[in-house]
Amino acid sequence: MRLLFVIDPITKLKPAQDTALAFMAAAQLRGHEVYAVRTKDLFVENGPGARARRLELQLDAKPFFRWLGEPEARPTKDFAAIFMRRDPPFDMDYIFTTYVLSLAQPHSLVINDPRGLRDCNEKAYILRFPELIPPSLMTKNANHIRDFLQRHREAVIKPLDGKGGEGILKLTVGDLNVNSMLELLTRYESRYVMVQKYVPQALQGDKRVLILDGEPVGTFVRIPAGDDLRGNMSVGATVASAELNPRDLEICQRLAPQLAADGIVFAGIDILGPSLTEINVTSPTGVREVKALGGADVAELMIQWVERASLGREKRW
C-alpha cells in the first residue's frame, strides 16, 4: 500500500520521540510505500491531490531519512490511507486543510476523520463527559473565572488552541497576578479558555493513555519536572511505566462510542487521579515512550489496523 503522512517539516521532527515517524517506520517495515507532504502540498483541482514525495527512514541513523525521487503531484485516491499529523496550533490553516482531506475520504482512509478534527477540540472535547472530568469551566468572561476560582481556591487555566503545555498557568486565590493572567490568557475577554479545578495529584504525574479504535493500547505516567506544574514531555516531564486501574478502564470504555462516532481512530487521553483532563486527537504522542517502557508496539498496531480497514476498498494503491 501507499500511505501519505501530512507532517510538519521533517527536519524538525525528533526521530527518538515523534509518533508520526514511528508510524512511517512501522509502515515501511511492513512493506508499504511511505510518502510525506506538508499542508502547503495539498490541493484540489479536479479532485483532491498532493505533491507527495516518497521517502525511506532509518530512525537510528544520521540523517534518519532520505528522499526517493522528487515531489510528484498525484490524486489522493492513490493512497490507501492519509495520516493528518501536523501539530497544532489549530488555526484556520488547519481547518482549511481538513476541507481538502474531507474530499479525499471516499477513496482513502483519513486518520483522524477531518470532521472529528474540526469538531473535537482537545481541551473542550471533555465537556461532553461531565461525569468523568474535574470541575471545569469554558468561558472568556474574567468575572466568571474569578467566581470559579473563589469556589475552588486553586485552578488551572489553559488556552483552547495550545499544545505541549503552552500557556498553562495555575491560579490561586490571593495571588496578585491573577488579573494579569486572565488578561493574558483571555486576551481581554476576547478568547475562550478552559479552567479546571486544580488536582493536587498533578505533582505526582498524570497518565497518558493511547487509544486505538476505541481500545487502550498503551499507557505511562508523565511526571512534571521539579520546577514546573506541567506534565508535558516537551517541557521536561519524565515518563515512567504504569498500569490501567479500574477507573482508567471505565473512562476508556465510556469514551469509545463517542470516539467512534466522531471518526477518532487514534487518540491520547490524559487522566489525572480519577479524572479525565484532555482528549488529544490532532497529533497524539507517546508511541515511542510506550514501547521504550516495555509496552506494545503501538505503531505496528496502527499500521495493522490500516491494513484491515483497507480490505475491500477500491484499490489504486
Residues 6+ apart with CB under 8 A from 91: 161
Q: Is 41 a catalytic residue?
A: no
Q: Which amino acid is at 110?
A: V
C-alpha cell at 143: 468575572
Among residues 121, 222, 248, 289, the one annotated as catalytic is 222
C-alpha cell at 137: 469551566
Residue with cell 516537551: 234
Strand partners, 290: none
Q: Is 297 a catalytic residue?
A: no
Among residues 280, 288, 289, 300, the one annotated as catalytic is 280
How many residues in the chain?
317
Q: Is 222 a catalytic residue?
A: yes
Among residues 2, 85, 86, 123, the one annotated as catalytic is 123
Classify burial at 200, counting beta carbons within 10 Å of its beta carbon; exposed 0-12, middle 13-18, buried 19 or more. exposed
Q: Is 207 a catalytic residue?
A: no
Q: Is 278 a catalytic residue?
A: yes
Other beta carbons within 10 Å of 243: 9
Q: Is 158 a catalytic residue?
A: yes
Among residues 113, 248, 270, 289, the one annotated as catalytic is 270
Q: Which amino acid is at 109?
A: L
Among residues 86, 163, 207, 208, the one annotated as catalytic is 208
Among residues 2, 85, 86, 158, the one annotated as catalytic is 158
Among residues 161, 230, 232, 288, the one annotated as catalytic is 230
Instruction: Tell whether omega for the bond before 246 is within 30 degrees of 0, i.e. cis.
Output: no
C-alpha cell at 110: 483519513
Q: Is 197 a catalytic residue?
A: no
Q: Which residues of 272-299 are buried (b: 16+ CB within 10 A; e: fewer)?
A: beebbbbbbbbbbbbbbbbbebebbbbb
Phi, psi at residue 211, to the nearest 5°? -120, 125
* 3-state DSSP of 246-306: HHHHHHHHHHHHHHHHCCCCEEEEEEECCEEEEEECCCCCCHHHHHHCCCCCHHHHHHHHH
Q: Is 187 a catalytic residue?
A: no
Residues annotated as catalytic are 123, 158, 208, 222, 230, 270, 278, 280
